[in-house]
Amino acid sequence: MFAWVLFVVSWGMLTITPAWSYTEISVVEGGTLKGTVTLVGEKPRPMAMNLVTIPDAVYCGRISTGTGWRIVEDFLIGSGGTLKDAVVMLKNVEKGKAFDIPKVEVEAIDCDFSPFVNVIKDREELTVINMDPIEHDIQGYETARERGARILFNRPLPMNPFHKVVQMFGENSHTHMPGKPMVEEIHLRKNRNIFVMQCGFHPYMFSWGVVLDNPYYFITKEDGAFQISDIPQGKYEVVAWHPGMKAYLKQTIQIEPGKISNVNFQYESPKGRRSAHEMHDNPRFGEELLDEGEKIVPSLRQQIP
């Protein structure tokens, strides 16, 4: 695949009716779906990478544990176990409101991809912008549990030279300014609707995407709440997906004109080892391998395992 092996932490496949068509109509007295996505159990063990073994350890270590590790923060949990970055969506909606969703633009910033989760139409463009003064290598894959990952694109994202370096608190800092964007069309094979993007140079950089066949979706924030409005009357299957989980959660709901329907989703926290990449003591890969005088300092944000 590439020098840094792609470990797809978890993924799934949602069966999509072939050649499903969606018709835009004027929705009068549409219903609303509301609810919350939560995670029960202990916080899952995170995936982590030893920065000394990866390029740009000092720059990327500005977000790190303070012990030379970078954590993939794929489970962001609020009070009461509410779950961020879950996508709640209606399946196989025949007709409804305008299928108008924002264009997807991902920033590579501070050796991280933002946003972590996106939604996109099939055959629409994804834009990636380098906000860092280092080079990235953008690799996109479509995923399916039974068939594994298939590469969509592999493109370099050249170092961004447009930065103003300033001295703050005795350390060099810089203002982020956008570099030249990389643009790719996302087109997934039949019955696949999940793609993942990773940096080949900095393998802790992930961004996930869900390809939609209708505009009825919501990406949860840290409060885990979702609200989907202007839904035509009828019975629908509603599903929840999170990049850290292997399964979709599904429920059937009835939408009534002008009324609110409530449904909640609850994931059970995955137990045990989730990845080959976890924090552990390894005396062979310490800061002494860096150039003389260099240190990995979490000056931007210190991560907590």
Domain assignments of the chain as residue spans, ordered by start: 100-213
Place of tokens 């926290």: 269
pLDDT band at 3 (very low <50, low <70, confident <90, very high): very low
The H or E element containing residue 52 is none
Cβ contact 225:235 at 8 Å: no
What is the radius of gyration, based on Cα positions, of the chain?
21
- pTM here? 0.87
Q: What is the pLDDT of residue 165?
A: 67
The pLDDT value recorded for residue 279 is 82
Percent of the chain residues topping a pLDDT of 90: 67
- 100-213 CATH pick, 3.40.50.620, 2.70.98.60, 2.60.40.420, 2.40.30.10: 2.60.40.420
Mean pLDDT score of the chain, rounded to an integer? 87
Q: What is the pLDDT of residue 26?
A: 96
Q: Does residue 106 or residue 186 have the better pLDDT?
A: 106
Question: Residue 209: how many CB atoms within 10 A of its CB?
Answer: 24
User: Can you give the pLDDT at residue 166?
Assistant: 66
Following CA atoms 38, 42, 43, 46 in sequence, which dihedral angle do they give, to the nearest 10 degrees? -140
SS3 string, 134-149, reads CCEEEEEEEEECCCEE
For the chain, give the percent of residues with pLDDT over 70.
87
What secondary structure letter does DSSP report for 80?
G
- Strands 171-175 and 164-168 turn out to be antiparallel
Pairing status of strand 260-262 against strand 249-255: unpaired
Chain position carrying tokens 């999940």: 194
The model's pLDDT over 216-242, given as tens digits with 9 standing for 90+, comes to: 999 999 999 999 999 999 999 999 999
Higher pLDDT, 7 or 88: 88
